[in-house]
Amino acid sequence: AQKITQTQPGMFVQEKEAVTLDCTYDTSDPSYGLFWYKQPSSGEMIFLIYQGSYDQQNATEGRYSLNFQKARKSANLVISASQLGDSAMYFCAMREGRLFSGNQFYFGTGTSLTVIP
């Protein structure tokens, strides 16, 4: 089974509107971290936001927030007040805790976001 699933290959949003990018994950480890990255056309992966499996509150970083629904195993990224510079590829990722010797980073296939002026 896929560790990280991103079902939206492409999304469009109007400038200044909010947008939600979906991410579901699969793990049996009670300790894990969830991460979102942005990759503009330049290629560099930029870390956006982190959510730990034991965190009670949803993570927020400026205009980014993570809608963490543990029972549903979902970790959706919400971008508020979209800007033209938000147009990029967005990746959801997970790292499991110490129960598994591997604990590498697992990435989803990404969602391409286009902000329309």
Partner 1 sequence: KAGVTQTPRYLIKTRGQQVTLSCSPISGHRSVSWYQQTPGQGLQFLFEYFSETQRNKGNFPGRFSGRQFSNSRSEMNVSTLELGDSALYLCASSLIRGSTDTQYFGPGTRLTVL
For residue 20, state whether it binds partner 1 (rule: CB under 8 A).
no
For residue 47, state whether it binds partner 1 (rule: CB under 8 A).
yes
Q: Which is nearer to partner 1, 24 or 82 (CB)?
A: 24
Min separation Cβ 101 and partner 1, Å: 8
Half-sphere exposure at residue 21, Cβ-oriented, CA atoms within 13 angstroms: 33
- For residue 80, give Cα distances in angstroms to 23, 56, 61, 92, 115: 17, 21, 11, 17, 12
Burial label for 92, CB within 10 Å (0-12, 13-18, 19+), is buried
Q: Which is nearer to partner 1, 82 or 108 (CB)?
A: 108
For residue 95, state whether it binds partner 1 (rule: CB under 8 A).
yes
For the window 23-42, what string marks contact with partner 1 as x by the rule CB under 8 A? ------x-xxx-x-x----x
